Amino acid sequence: MQLEKPRSSLIAPGRVVSDFGGDYAISALVAFIFAASGPVAIILAVGTRGGLSESALSSWIFGSFFINGLISIVFCWLYRQPLVFLWTIPGTVLVGPALGHLSFPEVIGAFLATGLLVLVLGLSGWVRRCMEAVPMPIVMGMVAGVFLRFGLDLVFALRDDFWIAAPMTATFLALSALPRLSRLVPPLIGALVVGAIAVALLGTFNPAGADLPVLARPHIYLPAFSWKAMVELVVPLAITVLVVQNGQGIAVLKATGHEPPINAIAVACGVGSMAAAFVGTVSTCLTGPVNAIISGSGTKERHYTAGLLVGVLALVFGLLSPVFTHLMLATPPAFIATLAGLAMLRVLQTAFSIAFKNQFAFGALLTFIITVANVAIFRVGAPFWGLVFGFAFSWLLERKDFRSQTADRTGP
């Protein structure tokens, strides 16, 4: 076992209170609202398209926030760093096509297997090697392929429900063009507020069946294990957790002077993924955007307090997941599609930039095309085959890029 040790002594509650302040409360609130808006819309878009019921989606959201909120509080407390864990957005998107030909218990079995794999890698200390094994451009070619449909859904929402999608998009673009204002009102949150106003004015909010539980009643699923689900989902999910999400979160924290415990983070993701799987929640990961927001201002030594507050807010949101799920599903489909599409724009831009910027561009292109084509082979989904064929052909045709990557890793 190669787990990084936490601080020698646990921090006292009084010290947490003294370290906390208004700046950290504001950054935590902004970060949490970001997590509870566009990313939640992505869960709802994927789940409804996959035929999941409202109660199943509520259970998914409960696990996403409550279980991961507990892990976040523990890690922020132990390591005195802003270590917020949520769920993998690329993994969520990967699940969408799989729900078309796999049962939800089979998908949950893949969640459990992914959690076990990530846990073993974290305990063994092999995480860094695994993060370096697959070239990032090829991984991001897959990510761009699975995310593209959300960008297209944004365009379709503008076509089908212009008076909801257009004001949301215009607000997002206007706030994005005004950096000073966007620091006060993040573009995605502005789009959410304007969209809610548009829905209210148009009278398209339809909260039918209001006799629902207020507190969460999560489902407890019995997983099913099938080779189709294992092959299609486990490796891509593990890559999105360790390489895409954790890699981004670790880079963000290192850029602000923190030293995140890489192996311990992987262990937390493995345990969290296995626990969350039983309530129907996709794999746990270290979040990049939320940790970037809460570590972007203030004193480094006090950033952990913002992480603790995000964790507490996540617990509350998870407990009230039936209410929030019902409210979101009562809005028109264009509202969720637009919010999810806007949330994906920057991520999609980053994915394209990394995939086709320099090295491994052909492998990344082939991965992207195969993933977008969404043709299953042996009933195994396209994202897995995109990674396989992209890596294989890149290995054949871009050997110089592999040699260059090895040289950069080993040094002179």
373 located within any domain: no
**Of 393, 373, 352, whose CA–CA distance to 139 is shortest?**
352
- Structure tokens belonging to residue 382: 């396209």
Let me know if residue 39 belongs to a domain: yes
pTM for the whole thing?
A: 0.82
- Is residue 375, in this structure, part of any structural domain at all? no
**145 located within any domain:** no
pLDDT at residue 403 in the model: 83
Domain limits for position 49: 13-132+150-165+179-186+202-334
Token readout for 214 is 């207020």
pLDDT at residue 34 tops 60: yes
265: helix, coil or strand?
helix
Report the domain count for the chain.
1
Q: Report the C-alpha gap between 295 and 289 in whole angstroms.
A: 10
Q: Express each pLDDT in 216-250 by its tens digit.
A: 899 999 999 999 999 989 988 998 898 878 887 88
Is residue 361 one of the residues assigned to a domain? no
pLDDT tens, residue by residue, 361-387: 999 999 999 989 888 787 677 888 888
**Per-residue pLDDT, 12:** 81
Instruction: Assess if residue 345 is contained within a domain.
Output: no
Q: Is the pLDDT of residue 410 over 60?
A: no
Q: For residue 155, is it within any domain? A: yes
Q: Tell me if residue 253 falls in helix, strand or coil.
A: helix
Residue 411 lies in a domain: no
Give percent of the chain above pLDDT 90.
46
Mean of all residue pLDDT scores within the chain: 88
pLDDT of residue 207: 75
Q: What pLDDT does residue 269 have?
A: 97
CB neighbour burial string for 395-410, b if at least 16 within 10 angstroms, e if fewer: eeebeebeeebeeeee
